[in-house]
A and B are shown apart, each in its own frame.
Chain A
Amino acid sequence: MANRKIVATKLRANDLILCSSNENLMAKEENSGKILPESRTDKKYNEARRTFLKQSSLLTALALAPPAVVKAAEAGLDEKVADQFEKVPLSLEINGELKKLSVEPRTTLLDLLREQLDLTGTKKGCDYGQCGACTVHADGQRINSCLSLTVMQEGKKITTIEGLATGDELHPMQAAFIEYDGFQCGYCTPGQIMSGVACIREGHANSESEIREYMSGNICRCGAYPNIIKAITAVKKGGKKV
């Protein structure tokens, strides 16, 4: 519909595509120009070795696996394919904690958070940059973590929903979402909250209609929109630092 802020892409989870990391994170179509993240050019990637055999849990799995699985593995690993799975070392800060990681280049930030770091508060709603459920902050800016490869985040500060509260004290936006019932099933909620905080920080929360526009990249299928607007408006009016 009109005003739709969703970036229409056809990025499928397996496509080995690198995305530009600018503010309007726009995925490139397959076979179109591949853009390397800036950070990559500054860093040494030559440490990347064929370490996956050692690192993967495949061997452990084999020891426990029933015959069918062993058969699959005995078929041998295709070296050419293996090349593509070499891991890349990188460091980034997540919720104030410095992480030194070794990741497959194709791993999205979203999958890294959810599947490898067990930070499951960030949600996957579409994996194609169309719903906003995966919104996190990278150096303070909201991004769709499903559209961002982890290797693009080298050196960045990532904040997820788990890192928003200060100790036991909820972030004002979290408290407002509870008070105004800004959710139902709660699945879009972490993304809405991260977006809502960014919306205020960006200076895009000056009226209800402005908030509606700038929150339209976050779908809520339960239809909590009116209360999301109330929550963000209240936080903005409350004047607390977000």
Chain B
Amino acid sequence: MRKVVMGDRLDRVEGQLKVTGVARYAAEYNLPGVAHGVLVTSSIPRGRISKIDTKAAERAPGVLAVVTHENAPEVPGYEASVNNEGSRVYGQEFRLFYDDKILHNFQPVALVVADTYERAVHGAFLVSIGYEKELHNTSLRDNLDDAFTPADQKDHKRGRPDAYKEAPVLVEQEYHTPIQVHNPMETHSTTALWEGDKKVKVYNKTQATKISQKEISKAFDLEKENVEAHSPFVGGAFGSSSRLWPQEMAAIMGAKVTGRPVKVMLMRDQVFNMVGYRPASVQYFSVGATAEGKLLGIAHHARGFTSRYEQFTERLLDPTKSMYSCPNMDTSYKLVSLDMSTPCWTRGPGETSGSFALESAMDELAYALKMDPLELRKINYAEKDPENDKPWSSNYLLQCYERGAERFGWSRRNPEPRSMREGEWLVGLGMASGIYKAARDRAEARVKLLADGSVLLRSAVADVGPGSATIFTQIAADRLGLPMEKVRFEWGNSVFPYAPGQFGSHTTASVGSAVYEVCTDLKQRLQELAVNQPGSPLYGAQAADLFFEGNTLKTKTGNASLRYADVLELHALKELEVSRESRGGPELDEFSSKSFCANFVEVRVHAATGEVRVAKVVSAVDAGKIMNHKTAESQVYGSVVWGIGIALMEEGIIDHRFGRHLNNDLADYHVPINADVPDIDVIFTDLEDPIVDPMGAKGIGEIPLIGFTAAIANAVYHATGKRITKLPITPDKLL
């Protein structure tokens, strides 16, 4: 029975379920009588439905119902929402089967429910729809003049915003990033089941069971307790399952209409323009510095896009505001409304695109200064957060630079572009820094000590892959001095204690703190029970004379002790339950809390074909204290693989004549495959942050991705002498 410590490289607690195929995901609950729903989607980007003929579908064998805007059950929440108050996106949420309006291509316009999947698919193809088209716009670049400042944004300026213009050394550049689609391996899925008129249960793909519960109860005007969102296994999400989407609404409506459980699993081509994506950006970036390389001023004007019905905003400017010490700044962020579905949070939402501009520009500046790009970053290190002058809660970026550069062998880099070569391959070395907020939110946890001395721990939190379930089990085992087997953690259900969504790299800090604190409370409570009971061997003992060792409370003199289970027995208790809400103190506001990283990348560019291969990656990360090195490394791998995808291949391509995606499947929309990914060397500073949470952890899910695409672009420049400012870096751009 080895003592469990936070940080240990432990296997995932749900690993066995995943490798044996036992873990069930949202569309895998084959409930008795379950029917299959398939969505029919629009083939135009804008206009209205002039006629919808469902007769053939209704007549088809096995079809139970066809739901359209003409017969859909009423959704009370749709009527009530004015500018979607209380929601995280400003505007009018998309309303499924609400009216005849078409707001984007691939908009769901009908749901065919049948007794088998094949019959539902066939039925869906029998629905015939007539449209009245209207002129549409789906291109960000063609509509930049219509950009507006979103309701929730303010331009950030500091010092003399124009100072960069007078700088002795000035770099000005325009950067573009394309649409990226999350494409989790599990498409968006829901199985819905009504229990009577007033109660619904969804087996749902969601990163946030509590948000799911809240939004469904609002939409259908149900008591919160009567909505259960069950989501222990999620086949990847990356931000794309953090709000209510059409497949959930469709499954719930389908189940209502047919009186049977209904499952809806989106087809791969449907996820590209229905359930969020990372919007494209156009960014104008200027940076001015002294001849010695000290930054004098930055101007960063970013343009993104959103749908016509909501204003989805990203944090494109955040890295620019805080990464480097720079006294003068002028930033703005504007959106263009397009005939597209609303984008949504995508791993490093904003920071990923924004940092491509910032970190590419820093590289260009280094060349303009004839300075080592790493050196340039070091001399502009910010001692405190330049955005608000708050001290960092912790910042080991300099250590990331040092250790990363050493491991990578940065010193072997000949600064001259196109100077390193291996046979037919041009070799390039590039680097970039990253910064990402280390937030903490309110969370609750409940722990129950059972008679056999084991504990049951619960939280509504999701675990879409980061390993949160393992980490929370581990934190509890560490705090309670128990082996992992004695801690059972249950998660992924809205009936459990409150947890924020698993996004924004704040799950460990938020829920982990609640787990940490509830375990401390449990021990406290056990100690009270041990000393206040006459007949207890520890009766009347003073707190100062007691200590816990493993699952045993002992006196320092060593003459008496009680195990957890003994305390229960002493009080004739079957179990002991303790709950805790955790939210962090005012110190959180006094500091600026961020995770940091330095990524080093070696690429090979084929001299004749322009093919880019990533040959080596070193990712040095300051994410505070690491809770489990095994799962944490996997998180970094994930970010690096995403970085390779965004930098080199991923691009949602739209044919603007039709306002429709051209490459909405996994053969044409390229994501990195095994052969695209090299060895990835991960370095953690593994040093505690004293402010964010009691474990000393900061977030880790997103930070290694920030700046990563620029590290590749910078390496490609070093290899070829070509500065690629429009992602992805495909071979055609290098020839």
Contact = CB atoms under 8 A, between A and B. Distances in A.
Interface string A62-79: 001110110110011110
A221 B464 contact: no
Contacts of A118: 30
A130 B61 contact: no
B534 to A, nearest CB: 48
Contacts of A104: 116, 118
A185 B234 contact: yes
Nearest to B126: A81
B257 A190 contact: no
Given A215-B674, A225-B674, A9 B186 contact: no
B672 A223 contact: yes
Contacts of A218: 673-674
Interface in B609-652: 611, 613, 630-631, 633-635, 637-642, 648-649
Given A58-B61, A187-B184, A223 B121 contact: no
Contacts of B680: 226
Q: Is the interface of A mostly helix, strand, loop or mixed?
A: loop
A164 B14 CA distance: 18
A94 interface: no
A223 B642 contact: yes
Contact of B185 (A14, A133, A228): A133
B58 interface: yes
B391 to A, nearest CB: 34
Given A178-B15, A187-B186, A212-B675, A58 B71 contact: no
Contacts of B27: 124
Contacts of B544: none
Given A13-B121, A184-B466, A66 B257 contact: yes
A106 interface: yes
B199 interface: no
A223 B56 contact: no
Contacts of A228: 674
Interface residues of B, number: 93
Interface stretch (B244-252, B259-267, B566-574): B259-267
Contacts of A61: 33, 35, 64, 115, 258, 260
A5 B184 CA distance: 19
Contact of A78 (B20, B59, B667): B59
A140 interface: no
A69 B65 contact: yes
Contacts of A178: 11-12, 15-16, 19
A133 to B, nearest CB: 6
Contacts of A227: 634, 637
A78 to B, nearest CB: 5
A36 B233 CA distance: 39
Interface string A115-151: 1001111111111101101000000000000000000
A93 interface: no
Given A66-B259, A226-B637, A186 B59 contact: no
A193 B71 CA distance: 45
A46 B182 CA distance: 47
A82 B64 CA distance: 15
Contacts of A88: none
A175 to B, nearest CB: 8
Contacts of B293: none
A110 to B, nearest CB: 10
Contacts of A189: 18-19
Given A72-B63, A115-B116, A177-B19, A221 B185 contact: yes
A101 interface: no
B20 A165 contact: yes
A123 B185 CA distance: 9
A170 B20 CA distance: 8
B22 interface: yes
A162 B119 contact: no
Contacts of A175: 19
A68 B71 contact: yes
B122 interface: yes
A29 to B, nearest CB: 13
A158 interface: no
B118 A181 contact: no
Contacts of B634: 181, 184, 222, 224, 227
Interface in B580-628: 611, 613
Contact of B186 (A121, A123, A193): A123
Given A8-B668, A75-B59, A218-B673, 5 more contacts: A1-B672, A65-B260, A128-B667, A177-B15, A184-B634
Interface of A: 1-10, 13-14, 52, 56-58, 60-61, 64-66, 68-69, 71-72, 75-78, 81-82, 85, 104, 106-107, 111, 114-115, 118-128, 130-131, 133, 160-162, 164-165, 170, 174-175, 177-179, 181, 183-190, 193, 211-213, 215-229
11 contacts: A1-B649, A3-B675, A8-B668, A13-B121, A56-B115, A65-B258, A75-B58, A107-B118, A118-B30, A183-B15, A187-B236
Instruction: Across the A-B interface, give the 9 residue pairs with the lowest CB-CB distance, nearest first.
Output: A121-B21, A223-B641, A187-B235, A186-B18, A184-B465, A185-B465, A161-B21, A120-B28, A8-B667
